[in-house]
Amino acid sequence: MKLLLIEDEPSVISLIQRSLSASGHEIAVAMDGQSGLQMALQHEFDIIILDLMIPVINGMEVCRKVRSAEIATPILMLTALGTTENIVSGLDAGADDYMTKPFKLAELEARLRTLTRRGKEAEKEKPVSGLKIGDLVMDTVTKTVSRDGQPIDLTATEFRLLEFLLMNQNKVLNRMEILENVWDINFNLGTNVVDVYINYLRKKIDKKHKVKLIHTVFGMGYVLRQTYEDSK
């Protein structure tokens, strides 16, 4: 793989370069956000490894600008900031995965393989043009969602989560299933990032409607189904 590493800590750069180069990967390095952004915009990479706390332009803004330029290269955020709020912010900015420092090289390589595999599978799959339940409609080609004919604005992560729920409607999904399929990552089971995003979706999908679609099955997970009972 051809990788872009945007990182300003020499020890981390050296560690990643030695390990990934030994595995046959080509590593390009940028030590600040501005040069990293320029490289991402001007060259093609298989994956971008991005630190958050970098000079000139921080990693969050780099990620947003890359996505604004409609570059779909998988982005793995690698940072010491590991709270749920940091994870949610990183994913909302357009990251595909999020690892906290310190990290194990074996896990880093496993994450990179997963991101590469998911990208290849997405290229092969013919997109399903429409998914729906009741009056909630999703177009996976135009990336639009509406309920009762009214458009709903979702972030990229909210869209992926809703798509997974729609593809598994009436099936109870536990948190780990959601994490592995929506983000392709294994967060610490103690994190509440799934609950945070379910709450985001409820506010946008269910709040103004009598028929609730997103439900909690206590002790088991979440399910998308039609019912007039209130979601908890």
Q: Which residue has the tokens 């080609």?
A: 141
Residue 199, Cβ neighbours under 10 Å: how many? 12
Residue 127 has pLDDT above 70, yes or no: no
Q: Which value, to the nearest 10 degrees, does the dihedral of the CA atoms of residues 80, 84, 85, 87 take?
A: 60
Q: What is the pTM of this model?
A: 0.61
User: Which CATH number applies to 130-227?
Assistant: 1.10.10.10
CATH topology of domain 2-124: Rossmann fold (3.40.50)
pLDDT digits 0-9 by tens, 173-214 = 998 889 888 876 655 555 688 999 999 999 999 988 889 999
Domain ranges for the chain: 2-124, 130-227
